[in-house]
């Protein structure tokens, strides 16, 4: 089985990758299409030069890195949803691929993301890409809210494993603090929180103040988020008021 996680930034995707890395049946990859995305789009990131030096930048080589090894039972690929840019969907899908969309309210994403990137665009924050993927995949997509994952980690991860037809493994709840060998070269810019953690602890996700210059982006992101949230039928994030107060 191949599992493709299509996330947006600052949504807990690295922690979810760390969860799956605890499973003895699973190998994880951290954003294997990032080099191709940066080379194709010219997008600026704090790690841009390091990524371009260390990762495949051609479509052929990037896609080759997604191929399972003979020893893989499960291959978990953590992607940002915008990394599909320039790659035909037929090259990213298959009968053995399970797709997860991980989405977080923009009032949590934008304040955190702008600490690293001053003027994000819709492409940067991935909501539109996630909505397109959800529209295309329909019921094949497992839509998971970051609010549910953080507020109810054990029950949400258990149901996620059920949806993937994987046995539950309680080791997914804990990991050793610090970096993992699979971390991308961008970890020093983005992974301080997960490196300081030792696993999932139930907590509500914080939201922050949106700068007035981002008001229109926030509204566009929120429309996509609320639609995606409505499709998260396997999961509940209604505690902590997430659904009542958009």
| Whether residue 239 has pLDDT greater than 90 | no
What's the pLDDT tens digit per position in 211-228?
999 999 999 999 999 999
Does 39 fall in a domain? Answer: yes
Q: Which domain holds residue 56?
A: 2-241
In order, the DSSP letters of the chain are -EEEEEE-TTSSHHHHHHHHHTSTTEEEEE-TTHHHHHHHH----TTHHHHHHHS--SHHHHHHTTSPPTT-SEEEEEEEGGGGTTS-GGGT--TTEEEEEEE--HHHHHHHHTTT-SS--HHHH-HHHHHHHHHHHGGGEEEEEHHHHHHSHHHHHHHHHHHTT----GGGGB--SS--TT--TTHHHH-HHHHH--B----PPP--PPPGGGHHHHHHHHHHHHHHHHT-TT---TGGGTTT--
Asked, for residue 246, whether it belongs to a domain, the answer is: no
Q: What is the mean pLDDT of the chain?
A: 93
**Is 203 among the domain residues?**
yes
**Domain presence at residue 47:** yes
Does residue 245 surpass a pLDDT of 70?
no
In a domain, 209, yes or no: yes
- Structural domain includes residue 35: yes
**Looking at the domain assignment, is residue 178 inside a domain?**
yes
Total domains, the chain: 1
The tens digit of pLDDT for each residue in 134-163 reads 999 999 999 999 999 999 999 999 999 999
CATH of the domain at 148: 3.40.50.300
What local confidence, expressed as pLDDT, does residue 229 receive? Answer: 95
The pLDDT tens digits of the residues spanning 47-91 come to: 999 999 999 999 999 999 999 999 999 999 999 999 999 999 999
């Amino acid at each position: 089985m191949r599992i493709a996680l299509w996330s947006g930034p600052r949504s807990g995707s690295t922690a979810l990758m760390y969860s799956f890395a605890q499973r003895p049946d699973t190998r994880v990859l951290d954003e294997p299409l990032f080099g191709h995305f940066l080379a194709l789009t010219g997008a600026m990131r704090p790690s841009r030069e390091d990524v371009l030096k260390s990762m495949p930048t051609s479509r052929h080589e990037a896609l080759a890195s997604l191929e399972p090894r003979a020893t893989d039972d499960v291959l978990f690929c953590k992607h940002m949803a915008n990394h599909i840019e320039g790659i035909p969907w037929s090259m990213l899908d298959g009968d053995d691929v399970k797709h997860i969309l991980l989405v977080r309210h923009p009032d949590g994403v934008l304040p955190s993301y702008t600490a690293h990137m001053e003027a994000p665009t819709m492409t940067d924050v991935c909501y539109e890409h996630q909505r397109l993927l959800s529209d295309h995949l329909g019921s094949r997509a497992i839509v998971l809210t970051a609010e549910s994952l953080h507020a109810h980690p054990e029950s949400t991860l258990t149901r996620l494993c059920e949806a993937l037809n994987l046995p539950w493994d309680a080791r997914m709840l804990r990991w050793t603090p610090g970096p993992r060998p699979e971390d991308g070269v961008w970890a020093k810019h983005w992974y301080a929180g997960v490196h300081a953690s030792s696993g999932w602890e139930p907590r509500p996700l914080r939201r922050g103040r949106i700068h007035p210059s981002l008001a229109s982006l926030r509204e566009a992101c929120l429309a996509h988020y609320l639609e995606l949230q409505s499709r998260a039928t396997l999961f509940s994030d209604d505690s902590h008021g997430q659904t009542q107060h958009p």
